[in-house]
């Protein structure tokens, strides 16, 4: 048998819905595991992003300096990047903040809507710094595959991964779309 | 009774011989012959404005692309509706529409029943080729039955046209220009205060996206009655 | 009311005698550039000084239109009616007025302000359109008549058929001066041959290109010439009504035109049964609200109709479906200003200037990094080097020439090594620029060409009407991408995307504004690609 494809998955500024959807492939995950090794993912316990990854599946938009740093590392260490779901592709709900600006969002989140925030400060230690503008992945790094959906349906994820394994072409627009 | 003489023109679409009445547009003749041309700002029953540029077609011997919805047919012309060049242009134009405003399909009342979404499927556009722009507009929810969310508007002006041409009220029109263009009521009054709006709701039914919607519907629930206009016009003609 | 050529001559003779009563004239330029430098006050002061010195019977002070050398305003010309000698004074301020009056009184020229009229700026020009500019009083119809005005109209109405007029214009080879260069005679013929009860003549005075002020100068300096040209077009095409669409930012032009129309109406030169013929022609000025896109033909007529000035898809063309759905001739100010000299002197005379395919002259507005900023009229086919160096006096502050931008936001940049180019419609198009309405912007070697391209792209972005997607969104996106190049943050992908967007916007936009918006980018990529490459960050 040929060598297994080295896969990583990561969830940046998203809701984890696409990762849930990934798990919704159910018994097909067993089938896929014949062809894929998951090296790095919320599903596995690995702290550093590994080198020499064949395919990284990215959920979520880029909202913080950490997200940007991560996606650059991912780009460096991965042969292919698959943007999974609307947040990674369009920014989706994450980018709605762009209409108001980071400051307004912080004021609402840590001021008006906060039960306890006596100092009135925004968190700035340990947590990553939010960018002025949220970006979909391809505005920062080149992306190889786009599989939209909110969340991307399990069937679509399965069909796309199967096609990648088999080296076949699929028409993604027939499987899923923005908002599906 | 002498029938008015109908002149007919013969030409080709995608290599297929077609005929149409001499005053027809390319789009009309294509439809009659079951040749599909993607459209967005076009709506049967309303005037054609050629604003969205999705229905552009190529004419042999001309370097210009022309919109099928306004382009009149000519004897012997050779029209192409499905070339690589057109695919490229349409995809880029559709990208621009998606990138222009904040469509966020997942939380839209029209999600699943949206012509813009459908177009992305039809043209195979799964990501925008151009960077997203940020331009925020205030939502007008002043009317008791309808909502206007300009953030989801693609400026097809169907609402403007249906209100003027079918309802006869001309309550809608455009204000400002370029990226800031908006559809407004009267002198940019809140919808509820519009004196010319008859609250007929035709604009809502013809809106291709979730920009105009009925109040009280949640995400994915806004299903529009697009055939309303054609049916209405047919009934009117019958009465005459 | 005058109805015959003889009566017209009478007015001309009377005015000429009146003009000759004073042997000398001090002509103060009251074109917009000089006005902004206080020309009106200078005219007033000069009148007073001349009176104070008691020489008002000998020397008249009058306001005239632009003579062209705007860089040296305020300009005052001292003209001797008998000898025909002229001394031009430049950079006159309010403090110089009495000195000037004294110079006239003492017959000793004011050497420190004297302009060298033998230099290239004046010697190499050929004034046809602007022949009256700087000589006649634009506020006085009689002065225009005294300089041969309205003779073409009266003679034509008496002696020529509409088809003969069109045939003259066709033979002259006159091409539309608005930029496209469409043959004027052909345009008129199309409308003349359409069978319609109502037709319209529309003059496009919505000059909006950055750095262009040719039409403004014509309207301000010689409004009657435009009116006469339009009336002749009306006669040739069978139209009884005309509109002059002028941007509201040209208040002086609007004032002069309105005054001129009023005077022409009073004399019966406009109105019913002009020159006792069966020809009626009425004229009205309509103001544009400041939208550049209203210079586009279909948007312009929509705006006159009182609607939002959005363009519409062509065809149908205006000759078929124009103002209020009727056949319409729409020409630019300069085009109409060419009609009278052609009919007065004949098509063959006109063909004696310019090139085979672009006969006649063209008015250019020279701006940017050039010594002699101003308005010039030269024969078509003049070499760029002559235009920039011999007439324009070369690049300002002794710097080197980098590029010449023509055609406004629709045009392109021509690099300095193409100075041998002979300027006409076709040659400019060939090198990726265009004639446009005649704005020539000179940039020196300190300029960044990406910034030049960005300037025009931003202009298009803010002037896009918003109707069609490629122009509305594309111009914004391209401005943003150009910013990345200027900030040296662009990627190779951005460069590809920019080129691709240029192609899509150019080929798929609805009207000329969008279709030509990428031109400044395309031409700077063509000739100055290395400046774009410099804007790409390395990683």
How many interchain CB pairs under 8 A, B with C? 100
Q: For residue B44, is it within any domain?
A: yes
User: What's the pLDDT band for A1 if we cut at 50, 70, 90?
Assistant: low
Work out the average pLDDT over A14-29: 97
Cβ separation A172–B124 shorter than 8 A: yes
Q: Kindly report, residue by residue over C98-132, the tens digit of the pLDDT.
A: 888 888 888 888 888 988 888 888 889 999 999 99
Cβ separation B50–C477 shorter than 8 A: no
pLDDT of residue C239 exceeding 90: yes
Among C330, C350, C370, residue at a domain's last position? C350
Residue B240 pLDDT: 67
Chain B residues within an 8 Å CB radius of A148: 126-127
- Can you tell me the distance from the alpha carbon of A76 to that of A141, in angstroms, rounded to the nearest whole number? 10
Cβ separation B130–C477 shorter than 8 A: yes
> Looking at the structure, do residues B13 and B74 belong to the same domain, yes or no?
yes
Q: Kindly report, residue by residue over C348-401, the tens digit of the pLDDT.
A: 999 999 999 999 999 999 999 999 999 999 999 999 999 999 999 999 999 999
- Can you tell me the distance from the alpha carbon of C539 to that of C528, in angstroms, rounded to the nearest whole number? 23
Q: Name the residue among B65, B96, B176 with its Cβ closest to that of C473.
A: B96
> Looking at the structure, do residues C71 and C157 belong to the same domain, yes or no?
no
Please give the domain boundaries of chain A with CATH numbers for all domains: 5-100+129-174 (3.40.50.700)
- As for how many domains chain B has, the answer is 2
Half-sphere exposure of C286 (CA within 13 A, CB side): 24
Taking CA–CA distances from B181, the nearest residue in chain C reads C466
Q: For residue C481, is it within any domain?
A: yes
Chain B residues within an 8 Å CB radius of A92: 104-106
Q: What percent of chain B has pLDDT over 90?
A: 94
Q: Kindly report, residue by residue over C480-510, the tens digit of the pLDDT.
A: 999 999 999 999 999 999 999 999 999 999 9
Cβ separation B132–A100 shorter than 8 A: no
- Can you tell me the distance from the alpha carbon of C72 to that of A180, in angstroms, rounded to the nearest whole number? 68
Q: Chains meeting C at 3+ CB pairs closer than 8 A? A: B
> Looking at the structure, do residues B146 and B187 belong to the same domain, yes or no?
yes
Taking CA–CA distances from C471, the nearest residue in chain B reads B178
> Looking at the structure, do residues C416 and C477 belong to the same domain, yes or no?
no
Which of these, C134, C284, C295, lies nearest to C218 by C-alpha position? Answer: C134
Query: Which CATH number covers residue C374?
Result: 3.10.20.600
Q: For residue C125, is it within any domain?
A: no
Cβ separation B179–C510 shorter than 8 A: no
Cα separations in angstroms, C456 against A10, C332, C405, C423: 43, 22, 11, 22
> Looking at the structure, do residues B65 and B134 belong to the same domain, yes or no?
no
Q: Are C341 and C354 in contact (CB under 8 A)?
A: no
Taking CA–CA distances from B51, the nearest residue in chain C reads C468
> Looking at the structure, do residues C312 and C374 belong to the same domain, yes or no?
no
Do the strands C439-444 and C401-406 form a parallel or antiparallel pair, or are they unpaired?
A: antiparallel
ipTM of the complex: 0.95
What is the number of other CB atoms lying within 10 angstroms of the CB of residue C448?
Answer: 17
- C509: contact with B, CB 8 A cutoff: yes
Cβ separation B132–A90 shorter than 8 A: yes
Alpha carbon of residue B125 to chain centroid: 18
Interface of C with B in 420-479 (CB under 8 A): 461-470, 472-477
Contacts of C377 (CB under 8 A, 6+ apart): C68, C125, C126, C127, C128, C129, C130, C361, C362, C363, C364
- Can you tell me the distance from the alpha carbon of C463 to that of C461, in angstroms, rounded to the nearest whole number? 5
> Looking at the structure, do residues C314 and C430 belong to the same domain, yes or no?
no
Q: For residue B187, is it within any domain?
A: yes
Q: Reply yes or no: is the peptide bond before residue C510 cis, omega within 30 of 0.
A: no
Q: Name the residue among A96, A100, A146 with its Cβ closest to that of B126.
A: A146
Q: Are C402 and C445 in contact (CB under 8 A)?
A: yes
> Looking at the structure, do residues B57 and B174 belong to the same domain, yes or no?
no
Cβ separation B102–A93 shorter than 8 A: no
Q: Name the residue among B124, B128, B134 with its Cβ closest to that of A173.
A: B124
Chain C residues within an 8 Å CB radius of B180: 466
What average pLDDT does chain B have?
Answer: 95
Taking CA–CA distances from A87, the nearest residue in chain B reads B104
For the record, the structure tokens of A129 come out as 């710094």
Q: For residue C187, is it within any domain?
A: yes
CA distance C416 to chain B (A): 31
Cα separations in angstroms, C429 against C180, C288, C421: 10, 29, 11
Q: For residue C11, is it within any domain?
A: no
CA distance A1 to chain B (A): 34
> Looking at the structure, do residues C430 and C464 belong to the same domain, yes or no?
no
Taking CA–CA distances from B97, the nearest residue in chain C reads C469
> Looking at the structure, do residues B169 and B97 belong to the same domain, yes or no?
yes
For the record, the structure tokens of C296 come out as 């586009």
- B128: contact with C, CB 8 A cutoff: no
pLDDT of residue B2 exceeding 60: no
Best residue in A21, A84, A90 for a mutation probing chain B (most B CBs within 10 Å): A90
Q: For residue C221, is it within any domain?
A: yes
More confident residue, C93 or A2: C93
Chain C residues within an 8 Å CB radius of B127: none
Q: Kindly report, residue by residue over B12-37, the tens digit of the pLDDT.
A: 999 999 999 999 999 999 999 999 99
Q: Chains meeting B at 3+ CB pairs closer than 8 A? A: A, C
Query: Which CATH number covers residue B17?
Result: 3.10.20.740
Contacts of C418 (CB under 8 A, 6+ apart): C384, C431
> Looking at the structure, do residues C439 and C397 belong to the same domain, yes or no?
yes
- B67: contact with C, CB 8 A cutoff: yes
Q: For residue C141, is it within any domain?
A: no
What average pLDDT does chain C have?
Answer: 94
For the record, the structure tokens of C168 come out as 């003259």
User: What's the pLDDT band for A124 if we cut at 50, 70, 90?
Assistant: confident
User: What's the pLDDT band for B6 if we cut at 50, 70, 90?
Assistant: confident
Q: Kindly report, residue by residue over C304-331, the tens digit of the pLDDT.
A: 999 999 999 999 999 999 999 999 999 9
Q: For residue C139, is it within any domain?
A: no
> Looking at the structure, do residues C365 and C461 belong to the same domain, yes or no?
no
> Looking at the structure, do residues B120 and B48 belong to the same domain, yes or no?
no
pLDDT of residue B3 exceeding 80: no
Which domain covers residue C439, as residue numbers?
361-444
Could you tell me the strand order of the sheet in which B8-13 lies? B16-21, B8-13, B78-80, B56-59, B65-67
Q: Are A65 and A131 in contact (CB under 8 A)?
A: yes
Which of these, A39, A68, A38, A50, lies nearest to A129 by C-alpha position? Answer: A68
Chain B residues within an 8 Å CB radius of A59: none
Chain B residues within an 8 Å CB radius of A150: 105-106
> Looking at the structure, do residues B40 and B146 belong to the same domain, yes or no?
no
What is the number of other CB atoms lying within 10 angstroms of the CB of residue A135?
Answer: 22
Work out the average pLDDT over C499-523: 96
Chain B residues within an 8 Å CB radius of A153: none
CA distance B128 to chain A (A): 7
* Coil vs helix vs strand at C76: strand
For the record, the structure tokens of A86 come out as 């609307």
Work out the average pLDDT over A126-131: 91
Chain C residues within an 8 Å CB radius of B183: none
SS3 of chain A = CCCCEEEEEEECECCCHHHHHHHCCCCHHHHHHCCEEEEECCCCCCCCCCCCEEEEEEECEEEEHHHHHHHHHHHHHEEEEEEECHHHHHCHHHHHHHHCCHHHHHHHHHHHCCCCCCCCCCCCCCCCCEEEEEECHHHCCCCCEEECCCCCCHHHHHHHHHHHHHCCCCCHHHCCCCCC
Cβ separation A179–B117 shorter than 8 A: yes
Which domain covers residue B39, as residue numbers?
8-82
> Looking at the structure, do residues C415 and C504 belong to the same domain, yes or no?
no
CA distance B237 to chain C (A): 25
> Looking at the structure, do residues C379 and C495 belong to the same domain, yes or no?
no
> Which string of b and e fits C297-311 if b means at least 16 CB within 10 Å?
bbbbbbbbeeebbbb
Q: Kindly report, residue by residue over C148-179, the tens digit of the pLDDT.
A: 999 999 999 999 999 999 999 999 999 999 88
Cβ separation B96–C469 shorter than 8 A: yes
By CB atoms closer than 10 A (0-12, 13-18, 19+), residue B8 is exposed
- C498: contact with B, CB 8 A cutoff: no
Q: For residue B148, is it within any domain?
A: yes
Taking CA–CA distances from C464, the nearest residue in chain B reads B178
> Looking at the structure, do residues B143 and B75 belong to the same domain, yes or no?
no
For the record, the structure tokens of B59 come out as 């004419």
Cα-Cα-Cα-Cα dihedral sign, residues B44, B49, B55, B58: positive
Which of these, C56, C58, C54, C118, lies nearest to C82 by C-alpha position? Answer: C58
Q: Kindly report, residue by residue over B100-154, the tens digit of the pLDDT.
A: 999 999 999 999 999 999 999 999 999 999 999 999 999 999 999 999 999 999 9
> Looking at the structure, do residues C461 and C439 belong to the same domain, yes or no?
no
- Can you tell me the distance from the alpha carbon of C212 to that of B27, in angstroms, rounded to the nearest whole number? 41
> Looking at the structure, do residues C419 and C345 belong to the same domain, yes or no?
no
B127 sits in which H/E element = none
- As for how many domains chain C has, the answer is 4
Query: Which CATH number covers residue B134?
Result: 3.30.70.20
Contacts of B201 (CB under 8 A, 6+ apart): B145, B146, B214
> Looking at the structure, do residues B100 and B191 belong to the same domain, yes or no?
yes
Among C393, C410, C444, residue at a domain's last position? C444
Among B82, B117, B134, residue at a domain's last position? B82
Taking CA–CA distances from B48, the nearest residue in chain C reads C313
Interface of B with C in 82-121 (CB under 8 A): 88-89, 92-93, 96-97, 99-100
Q: Name the residue among B104, B121, B134 with its Cβ closest to that of A93.
A: B104
Cβ separation B121–A173 shorter than 8 A: yes
> Looking at the structure, do residues B78 and B124 belong to the same domain, yes or no?
no
Which of these, C25, C249, C277, lies nearest to C136 by C-alpha position? Answer: C25
- B218: contact with A, CB 8 A cutoff: no
Cβ separation B96–C470 shorter than 8 A: yes
Q: For residue C91, is it within any domain?
A: yes
Q: Are B55 and B89 in contact (CB under 8 A)?
A: no
Query: Which CATH number covers residue C90?
Result: 3.40.30.10
Could you tell me the strand order of the sheet in which C24-29 lies? C59-64, C24-29, C76-80, C86-89
Residue C116 pLDDT: 86
pLDDT of residue B4 exceeding 80: no
- B66: contact with C, CB 8 A cutoff: yes
> Looking at the structure, do residues C32 and C167 belong to the same domain, yes or no?
no
By CB atoms closer than 10 A (0-12, 13-18, 19+), residue C21 is exposed
pLDDT of residue A33 exceeding 80: yes
Chain B residues within an 8 Å CB radius of C497: 129-130
User: What's the pLDDT band for B226 if we cut at 50, 70, 90?
Assistant: confident
- B154: contact with A, CB 8 A cutoff: no
Q: For residue B237, is it within any domain?
A: no
Do the strands A36-40 and A5-11 form a parallel or antiparallel pair, or are they unpaired?
A: parallel
Among C386, C420, C444, residue at a domain's last position? C444
Residue C117 pLDDT: 84
């Amino acid at each position: 048998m040929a060598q297994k494809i080295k896969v990583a998955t990561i969830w940046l500024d998203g809701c984890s819905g696409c990762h849930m959807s990934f798990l919704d492939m159910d018994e097909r995950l067993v089938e896929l595991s014949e062809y894929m090794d998951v090296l790095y993912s919320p599903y596995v316990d690995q702290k550093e992003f590994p080198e020499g990854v064949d395919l990284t599946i990215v959920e979520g938009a880029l909202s913080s300096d950490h997200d940007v740093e991560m996606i650059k590392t991912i780009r460096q260490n991965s042969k292919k990047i698959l943007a999974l779901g609307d947040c990674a592709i369009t920014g989706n709900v994450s980018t709605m903040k762009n209409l108001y600006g980071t400051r307004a969002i912080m004021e609402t989140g840590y001021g008006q809507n906060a039960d306890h925030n006596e100092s009135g400060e925004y968190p700035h230690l340990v947590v990553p710094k939010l960018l002025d503008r949220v970006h979909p992945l391809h505005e920062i790094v080149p992306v190889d595959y786009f599989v939209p959906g909110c969340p991307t349906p399990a069937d679509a994820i399965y069909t796309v991964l199967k096609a990648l394994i088999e080296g076949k072409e699929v028409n993604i627009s027939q499987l899923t779309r923005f908002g599906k | 009774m002498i029938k008015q003489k109908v002149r007919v023109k013969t030409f080709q679409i995608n290599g297929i011989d077609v005929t149409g009445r001499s005053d027809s547009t390319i789009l009309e003749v294509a439809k009659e012959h079951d040749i599909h041309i993607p459209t967005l700002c076009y709506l049967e029953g309303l005037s054609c404005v050629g604003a969205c540029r999705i229905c552009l077609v190529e004419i042999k011997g001309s370097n210009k692309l022309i919109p099928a919805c306004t382009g009149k047919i000519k004897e012997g012309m050779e029209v192409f509706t499905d070339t690589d060049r057109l695919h490229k242009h349409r995809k880029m134009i559709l990208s621009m529409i998606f990138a222009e405003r904040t469509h966020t399909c997942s939380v839209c009342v029209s999600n699943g029943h949206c012509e813009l979404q459908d177009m992305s499927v039809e043209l195979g556009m799964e990501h925008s080729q151009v960077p997203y722009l940020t331009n925020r507009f205030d939502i007008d929810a002043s009317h008791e039955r309808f909502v206007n969310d300009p953030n989801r508007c693609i400026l097809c002006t169907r609402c403007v046209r249906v209100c003027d041409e079918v309802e006869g009220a001309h309550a809608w029109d455009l204000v400002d220009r370029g990226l800031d263009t908006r559809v407004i009521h009267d002198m940019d009054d809140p919808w509820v205060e519009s004196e010319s709006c008859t609250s007929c709701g035709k604009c809502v039914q013809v809106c291709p996206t979730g920009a105009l919607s009925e109040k009280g519907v949640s995400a994915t629930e806004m299903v529009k009655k697009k055939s309303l206009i054609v049916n209405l016009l047919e009934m009117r003609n019958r009465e005459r | 009311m005058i109805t015959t050529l003889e009566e017209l001559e009478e007015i001309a003779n009377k005015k000429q005698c009146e003009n000759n009563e004073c042997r000398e004239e001090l002509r103060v330029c009251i074109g917009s550039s000089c006005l902004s430098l206080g020309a009106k006050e200078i005219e007033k002061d000069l009148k007073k000084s001349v009176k104070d010195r008691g020489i008002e019977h000998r020397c008249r002070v009058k306001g005239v239109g632009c003579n062209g050398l705007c860089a040296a305003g305020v300009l005052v010309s001292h003209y001797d009616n008998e000898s025909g000698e002229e001394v031009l004074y430049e950079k006159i301020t309010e403090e110089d007025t009495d000195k000037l009056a004294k110079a006239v009184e003492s017959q000793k020229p004011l050497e420190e302000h004297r302009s060298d009229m033998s230099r290239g700026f004046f010697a190499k020009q050929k004034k046809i359109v602007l022949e009256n500019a700087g000589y006649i009083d634009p506020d006085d119809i009689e002065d225009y008549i005294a300089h041969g005005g309205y003779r073409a109209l009266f003679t034509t109405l008496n002696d020529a058929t509409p088809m003969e007029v069109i045939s003259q214009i066709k033979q002259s080879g006159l091409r539309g001066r608005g930029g496209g260069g469409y043959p004027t005679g052909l345009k008129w013929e199309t409308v003349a041959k359409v069978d319609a009860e109502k037709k319209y003549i529309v003059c496009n005075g919505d000059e909006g290109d950055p750095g262009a002020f040719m039409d403004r100068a014509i309207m301000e300096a010689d409004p009657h010439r435009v009116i006469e040209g339009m009336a002749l077009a009306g006669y040739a095409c069978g139209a009884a009504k005309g509109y002059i669409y002028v941007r509201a930012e040209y208040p002086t032009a609007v004032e002069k035109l309105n005054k001129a129309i009023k005077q022409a109406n009073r004399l019966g030169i406009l109105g019913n049964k002009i020159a006792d013929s069966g020809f009626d022609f009425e004229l009205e000025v309509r103001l544009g609200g400041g939208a550049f896109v209203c210079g586009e033909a279909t948007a312009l007529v929509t705006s006159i109709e009182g609607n939002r000035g959005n363009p519409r898809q062509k065809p149908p063309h205006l000759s078929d479906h124009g103002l209020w759905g009727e056949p319409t001739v729409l020409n630019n100010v300069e085009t109409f200003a060419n009609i009278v000299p052609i009919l007065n002197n004949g098509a063959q005379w006109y063909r004696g200037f310019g090139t085979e395919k672009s006969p006649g002259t063209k008015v250019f507005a020279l701006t940017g990094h050039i010594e002699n900023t101003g308005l010039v009229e030269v024969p078509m086919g003049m070499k760029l080097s002559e235009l920039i160096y011999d007439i324009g006096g070369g690049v300002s502050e002794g710097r080197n020439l980098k590029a010449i931008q023509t055609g406004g936001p629709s045009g392109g940049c021509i690099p300095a090594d193409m100075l041998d180019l002979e300027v006409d419609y076709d040659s400019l198009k060939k090198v990726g620029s265009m004639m446009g309405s005649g704005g020539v912007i000179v940039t020196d070697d300190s300029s960044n060409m990406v910034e030049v391209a960005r300037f025009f792209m931003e202009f298009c972005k803010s002037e896009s009407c918003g109707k069609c997607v490629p122009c509305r969104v594309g111009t914004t996106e391209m401005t943003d991408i150009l910013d990345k190049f200027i900030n040296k943050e662009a990627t190779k992908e951005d460069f590809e995307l920019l080129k691709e967007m240029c192609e899509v916007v150019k080929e798929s936009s609805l009207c000329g504004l969008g279709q030509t918006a990428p031109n400044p980018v395309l031409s700077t990529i063509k000739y100055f690609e290395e400046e774009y490459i410099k804007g790409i960050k390395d990683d």
